[in-house]
Amino acid sequence: MLDQASPLRPKAGAHDDERVIKLAVLAVGGQGGGVLADWITDVAERNGYVAQSTSVAGVAQRTGATIYYIEMARDTGRLPVFALSPSQGDVDILIAAELMEAGRAIIRGFITPERTTLIASSHRIAAVSEKIEPGDGRASSEKVQATAQAAAKRFIAFDMEKIAADNGTMISASLLGALAGSDALPFTRESYEQAVSAGGRGVKASLAAFGAAYDRARGIAAAAAGDKAAGNPAAPEAKSTAKVSGPEALLKGWQNLAARVAALPEPVRDMAERGLRKVVDYQDIAYGDEYFDRLDKAVALDNAEHGYVLSIAAAKHLANAMCYDDMIRVADLKTRSTRDRRVRKEVGVREGSVLQVTEYFHPRIEEFCGTLPVGLGSYIESRPKLAAFLDRRINRGRHIRTDSFTGFAMLWFIGGLRRWRRRLLRHRIEVEHLERWYELALAHARENHALGTEILNCRRLIKGYSDTHARAQSKFDRVLSALPMLDGREDAADWIRRLREAALKDEKGEMLDGALKTVATLNESTR
């Protein structure tokens, strides 16, 4: 393979003027890449250039990755021979309408350090493969940003999708603004704006987004020396300092709990306060004390030498375990005034419009029994025929309007069952499970601190409702089933972590089964 072609060397008599400028746009279908390509072609023609644009339309447009390609050269009266698709190592400007598409452009060899200006929107559109993992399957943006920084001559990246959305238009407008602001093409800002105006539809919004992106790109281009890309600097982790309000008596109880937080080692406090707020919000002040009684056991086994990781993990996962998702919790969350405000904001309900909200519930006998007192709930569950009879009446989808009297009142009533929660069947089941897990973790922590921490972290596996919840429980049990096999091993903690990560990779836990097999053989080989 010829890895370095000579740059275009026009034959004798040709001027630099006759150079062909090559520009590619990589976008996700539906982002308006075609509009952008039309605008750029128009800008070029307005500036006395001949331009040619091509694309692959059709099925690829349906949410898949697509390429638009434009070549242009100063009009000398003769028609240049333009190529119809971009070549590796032969692209002057590459516009990526999403960050991973910038990564794809680099992989495909369209970005060269001596030559290519890479203009990328730093926002992400998760691909299906990233979304369907039970854990966090998202690709690393940092990795792409860092590689792009090294791979391109200039790298201009910021969230152009946000600029577009803020101005009520599509990303094509802000991408064009960034292109204009980058000065990568020898055209004036006015000629870009003329092209947008000539387009006719939504001109005002497009020009606003264009202008905002133009300024942003200009700023970056100007400050190019030091920090080339203005990515998304990670926000410093906010300490939990949210304000608390409520009746006097409860606030007093809260002060006592806060004092318990203050008594903890410093590294544990932040997580503990967040956890505390979660459990108190979930149940009551006394629940906060229960939380601390449990947490203190982990703190007692921990020390600064270990960085208090066991206690931090306990603070986090105890809170999540104690705030299991039952009908009461869901009903409580869905009937709060804060929730109503959030929905209005998310949906963008304007003054004068009316909002109607429909909730999708599908209760089953399990949820029903869980919300009954222990005795009654167990009575029904131990009689399959009765349970099946009731299930037939309960188990179906219920669409509940929480903006209506009856719908809201029903959920409000269920949310009010909170005060009796401790006496309900679900609570007993959850507490038993929690105690088993927590004791197991602490027992191991005494011998192997890291292993204890990893067992605590396995709580992350438990999530979802109904079947999903059952599957999660099974994964949780399967991961912990490796403990006897790992008994006494130095690297037991590492293995539990690996098993947990495998469990988060796919729905059924096939990766986990594979990893468990490895653990089994690993033991055989060392025996």
Task: Choose, by CB under 8 A, the member of 58, 226, 236, 484 that binds other proteins.
Answer: 58
List beta partners, residue 70: 23, 53
Residue 215: φ, ψ to 5°? -60, -45
Task: Choose, by CB under 8 A, the member of 32, 35, 43, 66 that binds other proteins.
Answer: 66
Size of the site for other proteins (CB under 8 A): 155
Nearer to other proteins, 416 or 514 (CB): 416
List beta partners, residue 69: 24, 54
Q: Is 156:120 a contact under the CB 8 Å cutoff?
A: yes
Nearer to other proteins, 20 or 214 (CB): 20
Window contacting other proteins (CB under 8 A); options: 122-130, 187-195, 213-221, 518-526: 122-130
Task: Choose, by CB under 8 A, the member of 25, 32, 53, 456 that binds other proteins.
Answer: 53
Contact between 286 and other proteins per CB under 8 A: no
Tell me the HSE value of 49 on the side-chain side, using a 13 A CA sphere.
26
Separation of alpha carbons 300 and 298, rounded Å? 5
Q: Considering only residues 246-285, where is the footprint of other proteins by CB under 8 A?
A: 246-247, 250-251, 254, 270-271, 274-275, 277-278, 280-281, 285
Contact between 236 and other proteins per CB under 8 A: no
Contact between 83 and other proteins per CB under 8 A: yes
The closest of 320, 317, 318, 303 to 267, measured between CA atoms, is 303
Nearer to other proteins, 356 or 525 (CB): 356
Residue carrying structure tokens 């096939």: 510
CB of 120 to other proteins, least distance (A): 13
3-class SS of residue 29: coil
Q: Is 343:384 a contact under the CB 8 Å cutoff?
A: no
Q: Is 170:32 a contact under the CB 8 Å cutoff?
A: yes
Q: Considering only residues 353-392, where is the footprint of other proteins by CB under 8 A?
A: 353-362, 364
3-class SS of residue 50: strand
Contact between 394 and other proteins per CB under 8 A: no
Separation of alpha carbons 453 and 15, rounded Å? 69
Nearer to other proteins, 1 or 225 (CB): 1
Nearer to other proteins, 69 or 495 (CB): 69
Task: Choose, by CB under 8 A, the member of 266, 346, 351, 524 that binds other proteins.
Answer: 346
339: amino acid identity, one letter: R
Nearer to other proteins, 281 or 485 (CB): 281
Nearer to other proteins, 338 or 525 (CB): 338
Nearer to other proteins, 218 or 335 (CB): 335
CB of 37 to other proteins, least distance (A): 8
Q: Considering only residues 467-506, where is the footprint of other proteins by CB under 8 A?
A: 467-468, 472, 504
CB of 446 to other proteins, least distance (A): 25
159 CB neighbour count, 10 Å cutoff: 21
Q: Considering only residues 419-478, where is the footprint of other proteins by CB under 8 A?
A: 460, 463-468, 472
508 CB neighbour count, 10 Å cutoff: 11
Residue 66: φ, ψ to 5°? -130, 155
Window contacting other proteins (CB under 8 A); options: 72-80, 177-185, 211-219, 426-434: 72-80
The closest of 75, 79, 67, 84 to 24, measured between CA atoms, is 67
CB of 293 to other proteins, least distance (A): 19
Computed from CA positions of residues 176, 179, 182, 186, in that sequence, does the dihedral angle turn out positive or negative?
negative
C-alpha distances in Å from residue 179, one per residue of 26, 157, 170, 369? 14, 11, 15, 61
Contact between 86 and other proteins per CB under 8 A: yes
Contact between 29 and other proteins per CB under 8 A: yes
Task: Choose, by CB under 8 A, the member of 21, 23, 32, 85 that binds other proteins.
Answer: 85
CA gyration radius, the chain: 30
User: DSSP labels for 63-105?
Assistant: TSEEEEEEEEEE--SS-----SS--TT--SEEEESSHHHHHHH
Contact between 199 and other proteins per CB under 8 A: no
Task: Choose, by CB under 8 A, the member of 41, 117, 121, 182 that binds other proteins.
Answer: 41
Contact between 48 and other proteins per CB under 8 A: no
Contact between 518 and other proteins per CB under 8 A: no
